[in-house]
Amino acid sequence: MAMRIPVALATVLVSMVMAFPALGQPVKDAAPAEVDLAARVKAIQANPRQFDAFYKIGAKSAAVCANCHGDNGNSTNPDIPNLAGQNPAYLLEQMRQFISDERRNEFMQGLMKALKPEEKVSIVVFYSRQDIQHKPATNEALAAKGQEYYAKNCLSCHGEQGRGNEKMPQVAGQQPNYLSVALKRYRSGSIVRKDTQMSVVTQPMTDADIATVVTYISAMK
């Protein structure tokens, strides 16, 4: 299941990202890397003029991401996650985990290290405004069972619509293979991806439970 990305492609993509001009003139008190980027995104979202400026730059930077995550963050590869409509604080947290080695994917880790804080901010501002393209369930009966499972075990954190919230990821409409790989990693406590809450949630799940809930979530509106 591991994705092999040719080194040459990775180098080109990383240099493309690095070639993006910095956002306008850097402000004197510009955010140092450790600043709370999620708070910065909130401030931008509350200011329509700033929002437009960041959105435009984010749209350009996201052209690199579109190679894998699809146009406007709607992936066409069931192994690669959608970023469309994803919650900014969650995206920033995953970027942080890739950089700190807490979440592992060689290509994504290299790419995230190459992004400047303001580029991360503009990219998440852009994706937060994209809509997920919904796909109908592949198996209605299984999806109905998955809905029951979700209501009992997942809804309290990921929400009735699967949209999550400031801290919780949106799972609605997410790519099916990606979802099931993520759930199995949490369950096995893999070093590739760990999370305390999701580890507890996935411990009792059988492979059949995972298939059931993924059928529901990936088609959720």
Binding-site ranges for ligand HEC (CB under 6 A):
3, 5, 13, 17, 64-65, 67-69, 80-81, 83, 91, 93-95, 105, 107-108, 111, 123, 153-154, 156-158, 168-169, 171, 174, 179, 182-183, 193, 195, 197-198, 201, 213
Tokens at 142, concatenated:
């299984």
The alpha-helical segments, DSSP class H, found in 6-47 are 7-19, 37-45
Measured distance CA(214)–CA(221) in Å, rounded: 13
Which residue number, 94 or 215, has a Cβ lying nearer to ligand HEC? Answer: 94
Tokens at 84, concatenated:
């469309």
> Least CB distance from residue 30 to ligand HEC, whole Å?
20
Which residue number, 68 or 125, has a Cβ lying nearer to ligand HEC? Answer: 68
> Least CB distance from residue 57 to ligand HEC, whole Å?
12
DSSP secondary-structure letter at 35? S
> Least CB distance from residue 61 to ligand HEC, whole Å?
6
Spatial contact of 68 and 77, defined as CB atoms under 8 Å apart: yes
Measured distance CA(128)–CA(131) in Å, rounded: 8
DSSP secondary-structure letter at 31? P
> Least CB distance from residue 38 to ligand HEC, whole Å?
13
